[in-house]
Structure 1
Amino acid sequence: RKAQGAHLSATSIRQALTEVAFCLQKRSEPMAPEARQIYKGAEKMRTPLPLKITQDENRKVYIPKTIQLKTPIKHILFGTSSSECEVIQVDRQEIKLSEDLFSSLNIPYSSTTQVFIHEDNLYVGPLVGIFTAGFSESMIRPIGDRTLFFAKLLAQEKAVGAYVFIFGAKHIDWDKGTINGIFHSHNGWETIEVPFPNVVYDRLPNRRTEKHKALREIKQRMHHEYLIPWFNPGFFDKWEIHQLLEGNHLVATYLPETHISPTFTLIERMLSKYQHVYIKPANGSLGLGIYQVIFDRETEDYYCRYRDQDGKNRLQRFSSIESFINTHFRNKQLEHYIVQQGIHLLRSDHKTIDFRIHTNKDEKGKWQVSVMAGKISGRGSVTTHLNNGGVVRTLTEIFPDVTECKKISDSLKQAALTLSEVIDSRQKGHIGELGFDLGVDKNGSVWLFEANSKPGRSIFSHPKLRKYDKLSSRLPLQYAIYLTETTIKTPEVIFK
């Protein structure tokens, strides 16, 4: 790279070394015992079969005798490619395809596969496409700063028995019905032409990109013309999620009092009732643009905590709500904000604690908790986000008492799973993962502060939580297997 004139900063060198170290890890590393404690279903994954090439036959497929066939198989499919074939059952626990079939189906390489049989068709794969944007020209880091994240996702393909690739709008050839997918193997990143996938996992990076008309049209066309299920579309709006949940008795108790387009009068009323409130952008993320307003009943002053444009935590005093609004919202419209009840949360060393919980669907389409962590706010910070000075801690680090830790852990798990099921039942499309920011007050009640459709992964920087990084990367691919099999056998469930 230096010979090509690239300028390497200290940060880029560290990132490159991290990626090299990751690529050198053994793909067959077993799941950590601690991970199994969170997600018990991980031990029950269906076992994938090796998929190999044989060169001495034409249109032959060899499958184990343990696979029961109700009718003779006439066709083999990979993604949206299909071919006539002759199936022969053997004693070996593997799948072998003749070289001509391997080539005509556009299977990229020998790996492991799941096998689905429906009527007279045999499906191998699944072929999973991860749709995103923000590609670079370099095949060393083809998705820029997010390359390592995608490498971790693709590293799980062999364990689950799937072929997984990354693609964007520019990689699709609609006339040929193929995609120049970006794959990651022991050879590094490479581009390989494959058929359209069985399922698409949406990993568009932000709301702005998601709104592009061309990207929305790709999703619509694949979903409606090619009947390809597309999961995890869209980013959540805080107010829409609040409205979606507040009418459901199972989760309404988790919701702080929240209002859209707050007025002076409303903010003052809520401060009088709760003593502090949060004013947040309805479409915000990463803790940006949040204000905490505190009312001091003794002095009748108002205090505001926020993070300024230079990334510093600030505390200001105001004599009235009007002066606060005129200072911070002079050029902003409050109609794009929500005001939310402040909660007196559990604290550690006088700093507030909230909790990040990730939930994922597994290969049975069932919600599971994949990771839990505590986040402790930085000094003077309005949120617990790491970019605001917050720190990540495991629950056992925060609550050394075993009984207390289990009680809070169980409450958080129950809340996260219930919220996942309710959101899933009320949102359009297919959701495979969610992230929740939850709080626990001094009475032990759980509160929902935010739900994310594409949760960040900053908590995995904690050494004791890195083992869950692999688990939460594996589960979306397991859910893709579920969507593939369901689409093949009962498509009315997916396209209802």
Structure 2
Amino acid sequence: MREPVLGILTLYLNNAKQLEEKSIYGKMITQGKRIGLDVFVFTPMDVDSGKQRINAMVFDPGTGKWSRKWRTFPDMIYDRCRIQRSERFQQLLRFRSRYNHLTFLNRPLRNKWTIHQTFSQKGRFRPHMPATLLYHSSSDLHQMLKTSPVIYIKPINGTGGRGILRIERLKQTRGMFDIQGRRQNRRIIQPRQVSLLRLESIVRQWCIGGRFLIQQGIPLRLPSGRFHDYRMLVQKNREGNWELTGIAGRVGAAKSVTSNLHGGGHAVKAETLLKEWLGSGEKAAKALQTAERLGLDAASFLEDSFGTLCELALDLAIDREGRVFVLEVNPKPAREVFSRAGERDTYRKALQQPLEYALWVYRTKLSPSSSKKIEE
């Protein structure tokens, strides 16, 4: 009996056909062999639609080398494609449309604004959502500044901390605001003080050519002056059920308004960081329990709303009172945060869970002996 086949769908970063997570894919292919799952990597550019075959990237754990091999379409597809402004992303959209009938472990989520609106429809999630508006004009900026001394401007499709502004109303200087942030290339914008009129102009220029959110700022500045948050990963397990994989703390680089690792931040164990932040282990444990329940409920709700998911990362803010807020969600999460935080077992689990879930999908839905398939 042949092994079930999983294709990891990704995108090249550039015309040199480089992959962002190639080493991670090698680890997943190696682990797949151990559990009886045949795994290869491909992009939409590698698909020969006429002959219904794929010029796949395959990895040999014995030699540690990559090569190309023509493969038929896999039983299941694990989509790791992130949004990018390129023709490659347009090819991805065409691939998804043409091959929508194939079995995907995960479907795309919508933009941050749509997700925020979806969460806000349900009372379960409203207390955990920072106040958020879709930016249209300076009136939206004024409305948020009336109720929140700190706000963030962020793109509705941004990732990695790119394109984010932090604005703080200064107490000592009436009518003045502190502004800092990160450009789309992640370059840090140094803090500066501006008037309201100048702030309006800066925000208008910042938002040209895209759609942006204005979001309430949650107090997250550590005594060191750096900002922090928490990355939580929930995944489906070998029984097809959602479970918490892990939570890690992230501390941003000096002068950075975000905590992203790609932007120079570093990872720490969540329990350690949260205990220092809240002042006791008991408060930290309670907040983490709240976060876990929230994450599992959020994953189930978003799956019901938008379609099949196999994993979800939630970026969480936890204030000084232990209240948990969802800053954003990511259906294509990196997992290096756990390795960098010293959580080796969690990191290995984060790599293995999608593979074990893929086996569950095959056995329960796609296996020739599956009665469910016959019924469908």
For residues 214 and 15 of structure 2, what CA distance do their matches in structure 1 show?
43
1:273 aligns with 2:147: yes
The aligned counterpart of 2:137 is 263
Distance 1:210 1:439, change over 3 A: farther
**Equivalences for residues 74-473 of structure 1 within 5 A:** 124-134=2-12, 143-174=18-49, 176-185=51-60, 186-187=62-63, 188-208=65-85, 212-224=89-101, 228-234=102-108, 236-300=110-174, 301-307=176-182, 311-320=187-196, 322-330=197-205, 332-333=207-208, 336-345=211-220, 347-398=222-273, 399=275, 401-428=280-307, 430-462=308-340, 464-473=342-351
For residues 294 and 172 of structure 2, what CA distance do their matches in structure 1 show?
37
Answer yes or no: is the 8 Å Cα contact 1:345–1:352 preserved in 2.
Answer: yes
Percentage of matched positions with identical amino acids = 24
For residues 194 and 387 of structure 1, what CA distance do their matches in structure 2 show?
34
For residues 37 and 46 of structure 2, what CA distance do their matches in structure 1 show?
20
Question: How far does residue 134 in structure 1 lie from its aligned partner after superposition?
Answer: 1.6
Q: Unaligned stretches of 5+ in structure 1?
A: 1-75, 77-123
Answer yes or no: is the 8 Å Cα contact 1:236–1:453 preserved in 2.
Answer: no
Query: Structure 1 length as normaliser, TM-score?
Result: 0.67
Distance 1:343 1:275, change over 3 A: same
For residues 170 and 342 of structure 2, what CA distance do their matches in structure 1 show?
40
Answer yes or no: is the 8 Å Cα contact 2:250–2:259 preserved in 1.
Answer: yes
For residues 365 and 178 of structure 1, what CA distance do their matches in structure 2 show?
29
The CA deviation string for residues 305-340 of structure 1, in whole angstroms up to 9 with x for no partner, is 2135682341111121x3113135337438711101
For residues 161 and 203 of structure 1, what CA distance do their matches in structure 2 show?
21
Answer yes or no: is the 8 Å Cα contact 2:160–2:263 preserved in 1.
Answer: no
Answer yes or no: is the 8 Å Cα contact 2:9–2:80 preserved in 1.
Answer: yes
Question: How far does residue 174 in structure 1 lie from its aligned partner after superposition?
Answer: 4.2
Distance 1:475 1:310, change over 3 A: closer
The CA deviation string for residues 285-311 of structure 1, in whole angstroms up to 9 with x for no partner, is 111111111112442211112135682
The aligned counterpart of 1:60 is none
Distance 1:162 1:133, change over 3 A: same
Q: Moved runs in structure 1, 4+ residues, more than 6 A?
A: 135-138
Higher-Rg structure is 1
Letter in 1 for 2:143: R
Question: How far does residue 460 in structure 1 lie from its aligned partner after superposition?
Answer: 3.6
Q: Secondary structure at the match of 1:192?
A: strand
Answer yes or no: is the 8 Å Cα contact 2:137–2:204 preserved in 1.
Answer: no
Query: Structure 2 length as normaliser, TM-score?
Result: 0.86
Q: Secondary structure at the match of 2:107?
A: coil
Answer yes or no: is the 8 Å Cα contact 2:249–2:267 preserved in 1.
Answer: yes
Letter in 2 for 1:476: P
For residues 6 and 264 of structure 2, what CA distance do their matches in structure 1 show?
37
**More displaced 10-residue stretch of structure 1: 329-338 or 288-297:** 329-338
Distance 1:207 1:381, change over 3 A: same
For residues 135 and 353 of structure 1, what CA distance do their matches in structure 2 show?
28
Letter in 1 for 2:24: F
Letter in 2 for 1:216: L
For residues 163 and 231 of structure 1, what CA distance do their matches in structure 2 show?
15
For residues 58 and 158 of structure 2, what CA distance do their matches in structure 1 show?
32
Letter in 2 for 1:464: G
For residues 96 and 67 of structure 2, what CA distance do their matches in structure 1 show?
24
Distance 1:357 1:151, change over 3 A: same
Answer yes or no: is the 8 Å Cα contact 2:162–2:186 preserved in 1.
Answer: no
For residues 438 and 210 of structure 1, what CA distance do their matches in structure 2 show?
33
For residues 246 and 492 of structure 1, what CA distance do their matches in structure 2 show?
39
Letter in 2 for 1:380: K
For residues 455 and 182 of structure 1, what CA distance do their matches in structure 2 show?
21
For residues 492 and 220 of structure 1, what CA distance do their matches in structure 2 show?
25
